[in-house]
Every structure is written in structure tokens, then in C-alpha cells.
Chain A
Amino acid sequence: MVLKALAIHMDKLKLRLIKSLRARAETAGINWSDFSEQTIEVVIFGSRPIAMNRHDSDLDVLAVGTAARRIKKCGLDLIIISTSDLGSPTWLGSELAGHVARYGLWMKGQGDWRGKVTSGPDTWKQKERRLISLMRSVRNSWTQLHPLFRLKYRTTIRRELQRLLLLQRSVPIPPTPFLDSEWQAGKVQYRALVHESEFICGEDRNFMLESVLD
């Protein structure tokens, strides 16, 4: 009984999402029948499948087609990857592949590649590099940044630290609103995130603890 109710709920959710995708795609100038013909997989990911979206959240979509492309317009964020990239170690080891494989909702296709997704040191080391680069850039410009942007980078760095720690534990990255809810619920502490991140040292650590977390 519960399973049947869940299946009905999922069918309704899928129907709503596919309608939303079609409307946004057509507004964005994408020919729907061409899109349907040229894609073998369509997956909706991000905050909408788990109903944690804001009303103005984009619809995040991954499609597998003949040629890679990125379209961001009319509330649609569409990433098309090519069938040849689908089996590549770069894709299978990426943060996005891990996220989609775990949290994506398949509208079309089976997602056979899901079982091949890996989360090795390459993925989190790339995240670590990005964080170091981001922290240094922010540190160098901190005094010139308007409070709005300081707030933006506080949030960005905190989310990236959360993602990094998850990647290091081979946990797929959940949608951003989920990370924020963990933070708001006090399940994640900024200082603990910094202390757990051994790669943040010296001036970077002081900056994170004294300026970013003030």
C-alpha cells in the first residue's frame, strides 16, 4: 500500500517535472521533438527532485546526446554530455556524475553508467585545489569586497568545505539546499570544517578563522 502510494507520488512528480522541462525548453528555443530524438537519457537533478527548491530555482537537467552543450536560459540549466564522454573516467569520476547518479531522477533512459561512478582522490584533490585557489583570491581581495560579496564567499567557501569533506568520505554530494539545511540545523560548524581541513594552513587558516568566520 505504502509502495503503491510512493509509486503514484513519483509518477506525478515525474510528470510535473517533464512538463516543466518541456515548457522551459520550448521557451529557451529548443525544439522539443529534436531534443527528444537526439537524447538517449534525460535526468533531472539538483533541488527539484527532492522538493527543496526555491520557487525561482532553475531546473537542472543532464541529457546524454550526440554533442556536448550547455544551455542556461529561461530557468533551465541544461548540460548535455556526449555518449562518448559518458564512459570516460573524467565523467565517471566527476562530482557532478556522483551527484546525478545518487540524486538524479531519470525521465528517459536507464542510467546504466551509474554503477561505474567512482569517487577517488582525484575528485576531492581537484576540489581541494579549487578551495585553495578560491580562498587565496578572496583573501587578497577581502578588503575590497562589498559586504554582499563577502557574504557570498562565506557561503561558497562553507559549501565547498562541506562538499570536500563528503567527497573525501566517498559520499555523493547532495543538492545545495540540503547542505544549507545541515548548516542551519547546526549539524555543521564552520570552525570544525576548517579544523578538519588540514590543507588549510598558515595565513589561509588565520584568514578563514579571523575574517571569513568573524
Chain B
Amino acid sequence: MKRKKRRRQQVDLDAARALRDKSMTFSDEFDASDPEETEVKLDTHLSALLDRGQIKTKKKGTDLYLDDVLVDVLGKSEDDKLIEDARLFRVLISSYGGEPTDEDMDEAYDILTSIVEALNGIEGIGDPHGQAKIAFD
């Protein structure tokens, strides 16, 4: 039982690296003035990771979000602060009940920055530029 728990908490480094690189690209593209385009861009990046097999999901017929991917890749629990922040990020950029405000989008961007920082801080994840080079090779 203990071994099972430990395995669940392990970070999938390759997936975390791929997610970190995509998150950095997404962070550069993040357009606070265009919430719809921003939401679709994130899903396009997650799609690329899924299509290349860099991340996996068991989800069928239900929505997949950045917080779900972070749970799988980082082995974090649902109530981890980073996961909760990612969940808030999802809500802020979507426009349930109306258009996200500028403040919503600014807050979302701050959360995205903290996610990138958290991914960059993972031990053994390596330098983003180095990884980008490997990806090009």
C-alpha cells in the first residue's frame, strides 16, 4: 500500500519537461485581451502533448484541463495549492456568466507564471533552452 502511494507521488519528468516547455510558449502567447483565443491556444498545446504521447489521459467524453494534466504529471493531490491555482486559472479564462474581466485575465496570467515557475523548480527537469534544443534535434 505504501509503495503504491509513493509511486503515485512520483513526477513524470519527461511529461513535466514537455508540459513546462509548452507552458512557457503559452505564457508568451497569452493574450489578456482575447480570452477565447487564449483558452483555445492552451487546448491546442495540450492536444499536441496528447498527440505526441507526452502526456496521457484516461478521460473519455469529459473535459480535460490543465489542472488534470498537472495532477497526472506531477503526482500531486487535488487539494495541492498549485492544482487549486490551476483550477482557478481555468475558471478565470473561461467566461462562465459573462466575459472575463481584465483583472481576471491578469490574475490568470500571474497563476500561469507561478505554474511555469513550479515546473521549472522540479528537480532534474533541466534548463528550458537545453530542452528546447533537444526538442528541435
Task: For the complex, give the distance between the alpha carbons of A163 and B16 in Å.
Answer: 38
Contact B47 A133 (CB under 8 A): no
Residues of B within 8 A of A137 (CB): 34, 36-37, 39-41
Residues of A within 8 A of B47 (CB): 144-146, 148-149
Residues of A within 8 A of B60 (CB): 148
Residues of A within 8 A of B51 (CB): 146
For residue A96, CB closer than 8 A to chain B, the reply is yes
Q: Is the interface of B mostly helix, strand, loop or mixed?
A: helix
Task: For the complex, give the distance between the alpha carbons of A211 and B40 in Å.
Answer: 16
Listed residue (A27, A74, A140, A144) with the most chain B CB atoms within 10 angstroms of its CB: A144
Task: For the complex, give the distance between the alpha carbons of A34 and B27 in Å.
Answer: 36
A-B contact count (CB 8 A): 78
Contact A72 B84 (CB under 8 A): yes
Residues of B within 8 A of A151 (CB): 61
Residues of B within 8 A of A149 (CB): 43-44, 46-47, 64
Residues of A within 8 A of B36 (CB): 130, 133-134, 137
For residue B79, CB closer than 8 A to chain A, the reply is yes
Contact A141 B88 (CB under 8 A): no
Task: For the complex, give the distance between the alpha carbons of A72 and B89 in Å.
Answer: 9
- Tell me the count of chain B residues lying within 8 A, CB to CB, of chain A: 32
Cross-chain contact of A141 among B34, B41, B96 (Cβ < 8 A) = B41
Listed residue (B34, B88, B98) with the most chain A CB atoms within 10 angstroms of its CB: B98
Q: Is the interface of A mostly helix, strand, loop or mixed?
A: helix
- Which residues between 190 and 208 of chain A lie within 8 Å of chain B, taking CB atoms? none
- Which residues between 49 and 82 of chain B lie within 8 Å of chain A, taking CB atoms? 50-51, 57, 59-61, 63-64, 79
Cross-chain contact of A77 among B41, B91, B104 (Cβ < 8 A) = B91
Task: For the complex, give the distance between the alpha carbons of A141 and B88 in Å.
Answer: 24
Residues of B within 8 A of A (CB): 34, 36-37, 39-41, 43-44, 46-48, 50-51, 57, 59-61, 63-64, 79, 84, 87-88, 91-92, 95-99, 104, 107
Q: Which 5 A-B pairs have the closest CB atoms?
A: A96-B97, A146-B47, A137-B40, A73-B84, A133-B36
15 contacts between A and B (CB under 8 A): A70-B104, A72-B84, A72-B88, A96-B96, A96-B98, A126-B99, A130-B36, A133-B36, A134-B36, A138-B40, A141-B41, A148-B64, A149-B46, A152-B64, A153-B43
Residues of A within 8 A of B (CB): 27, 70-74, 77, 94-96, 99, 126, 130, 133-134, 137-138, 140-141, 144-146, 148-149, 151-153
Q: Can you add 5 more A-B contacts, CB < 8 Å, to A130-B99, A146-B46, A148-B59?
A: A27-B79, A73-B79, A96-B97, A137-B36, A148-B50
